[in-house]
Structure 1
Amino acid sequence: MTRSRAQPKSEPLFTPIFLVLCFTSFLCLMMLVVRSAQIGDDRYRFLLWNLFLAWLPLIVSMAASGADRLLSGLPSARGLVLAVLGVGWLLLYPNAPYLTTDFIHLIMNPVYSWRQSTGSLLVWYDLVVFFLFAWCGLLLGYESMRQFHRLVGSHLGAAAGWLFIVAVSFLGGFGVYLGRVIRLNSWDVIFSPFRLLDSVLGGINANGFIFTMLFGVLILIVYLSLYCLRFMGGFRPHDIVGNGPPSYHNS
């Protein structure tokens, strides 16, 4: 009798959640187009750029999952590629939950005073638009994080996978702070590294800490909630660490 472990099943490119994300992104675009056509106001078109940036971490995580499969016979090359893609993903990841902070444009808009706006269809329309963009960003972040969770868990173990999730959640919260409050961008790592370093050091204060904790908890709760829903839908815990249950066969 010999013991062997089943290999993790590779996921198709166009999973249901990927198709939902494509549809939601298209819906966000169309709602802004309708808004602009109806009232001649395109002030919120910046949401499309932010949504594009939110897609980047998922694209990188999909590339990492593909590289992990394609380079399975070349462990050294696979490790190097995954490390580079992992760093790139970590820098891009805050762009996904960043979309939740765009609600500030809705909150601070003087047009939406409570007494004047509760009966206005526009305020409710805009509320749905902002929510869809924010929800799409959170889903993009979840799906890209889940793919790296699977990679880390399969190579380093389940405990390391969950430690990765907790660490990335709060690093992502700090990244959102750097983007929204300090007004940094992911590409500042390449084009303005010294400004980035100064801003990171300057962001280590009470306000930055509280902001990071708030958004870190938000990211973590969203991930755990969606993970549990996936698990309740028949997802097996060993899928996340990349190893199936032991199976036995005659040698």
Structure 2
Amino acid sequence: MTTSIFLMFLIWNLFLAVIPFLLTSYLKTRNLFDNKFKNGIIVLTWLLFLPNSFYIITDFVHLSLSNSYTFWYDLLLISSYSTLGFLLGIISLQDFEKSISSKFSSLITSILLFSITILSGFGIYLGRILRYNSWDIFKNPIDLFTDLLNIFLTTKSLGFSILFGCFIYFIFQVSNYFTITINQ
């Protein structure tokens, strides 16, 4: 419609959001605590890619580049992709919760999930603010770890991570509430 490929990155970001969903979809068909090494690798990979699901919501920053003709089109397009990516992340968290809830108490499960959402907030910070990608842990580990040491405990990184992590956790809890309510 616009003859521009500017927002094509949304397709890539959505692909990255699908990865954690596929990993937890696989894990929910298995006992997470059988074959601990293999499933541990899958869970670590899931943790590495999970922030991508929620990251898409930050793509609204690109609306500032839209002109009056394309603004509404761009808004709908980014909204569609970010909603789908966020939903895939929430479903992935729910699947992970189901996988671990039989092994851990509800308190430990809640603490673990809250911690994962805060880590996802930090992952979003690494991607949006510092411009790192999930694969930079393998491709560019020295620069990544150097930057991590420099920014890990700054108020900016902590504030951003906690804000986004709490937002993700809130949406996760609301979706769980509605899922339980609907199923009753």
Q: Is the 8 A contact 1:149 1:165 kept in 2?
A: yes
Q: Is the 8 A contact 1:152 1:160 kept in 2?
A: no
Q: Which residue of 2 aligns with 1:190?
A: 138
Deviation at 1:123, TM superposition (A): 1.8
Deviation at 1:221, TM superposition (A): 1.2
Q: Which residue of 2 aligns with 1:221?
A: 170
Q: What is the CA–CA distance in structure 2 between the aligned matches of 1:187 and 1:165, rounded to whole Å? A: 23
Q: Which residue of 1 aligns with 2:60?
A: 103
Bigger drift between 204-213 and 87-96 goes to 204-213
- Which letter maps to 2:83? W
Q: What is the CA–CA distance in structure 1 between the aligned matches of 2:107 and 2:88, rounded to whole Å? A: 24
Q: Which residue of 2 aligns with 1:176?
A: 124
Q: Deviation above 2 Å: which 4+ runs of structure 1?
A: 79-82
Deviation at 1:146, TM superposition (A): 0.8
Q: What is the CA–CA distance in structure 2 between the aligned matches of 1:189 and 1:164, rounded to whole Å? A: 22
Deviation at 1:101, TM superposition (A): 0.6
Q: What is the CA–CA distance in structure 2 between the aligned matches of 1:194 and 1:146, rounded to whole Å? A: 33
Q: Which residue of 1 aligns with 2:49?
A: 92
Between structure 1 and structure 2, the one with the greater Rg is 1
Q: Secondary structure, in 3 states, of the residue corresponding to 1:156? A: coil
Q: What is the CA–CA distance in structure 2 between the aligned matches of 1:191 and 1:124, rounded to whole Å? A: 37
Q: What is the CA–CA distance in structure 2 between the aligned matches of 1:193 and 1:91, rounded to whole Å? A: 13
- Which letter maps to 2:52? N
Q: What is the CA–CA distance in structure 1 between the aligned matches of 2:85 and 2:2, rounded to whole Å? A: 26
Q: Which residue of 1 aligns with 2:19?
A: 56
Q: What is the CA–CA distance in structure 2 between the aligned matches of 1:80 and 1:39, rounded to whole Å? A: 48
Q: What is the CA–CA distance in structure 2 between the aligned matches of 1:154 and 1:84, rounded to whole Å? A: 20
Gaps of 5+ in 1: 1-37, 236-251
Identical columns (%): 29
Q: What is the CA–CA distance in structure 2 between the aligned matches of 1:197 and 1:67, rounded to whole Å? A: 33
- Which letter maps to 1:179? G
Deviation at 1:202, TM superposition (A): 2.2
- Which letter maps to 1:186? S
| Structure 2 residue 92 is matched with structure 1 residue 144 | yes
Q: Which residue of 1 aligns with 2:112?
A: 164
Deviation at 1:208, TM superposition (A): 0.8
Gaps of 5+ in 2: none
Structure 1 segment 1-40 matched on structure 2, within 5 A: 38-40=1-3
Q: Is the 8 A contact 1:178 1:199 kept in 2?
A: no
Deviation at 1:39, TM superposition (A): 2.4
Q: Is the 8 A contact 1:97 1:134 kept in 2?
A: yes
Q: Secondary structure, in 3 states, of the residue corresponding to 2:6? A: coil
Root-mean-square deviation (CA, aligned residues, Å) is: 1.6
Deviation at 1:104, TM superposition (A): 0.4
- Which letter maps to 2:106? A
Q: Is the 8 A contact 1:150 1:161 kept in 2?
A: no
Q: Deviations over 1:67-97 (max 9, x none)?
A: 328xx8xx4x2x2222221111101100100
Q: Is the 8 A contact 1:67 1:81 kept in 2?
A: no
Q: Which residue of 1 aligns with 2:5?
A: 42
Q: What is the CA–CA distance in structure 1 between the aligned matches of 2:151 and 2:62, rounded to whole Å? A: 23
Q: Which residue of 2 aligns with 1:130?
A: 78
TM-score, normalization by structure 1: 0.69
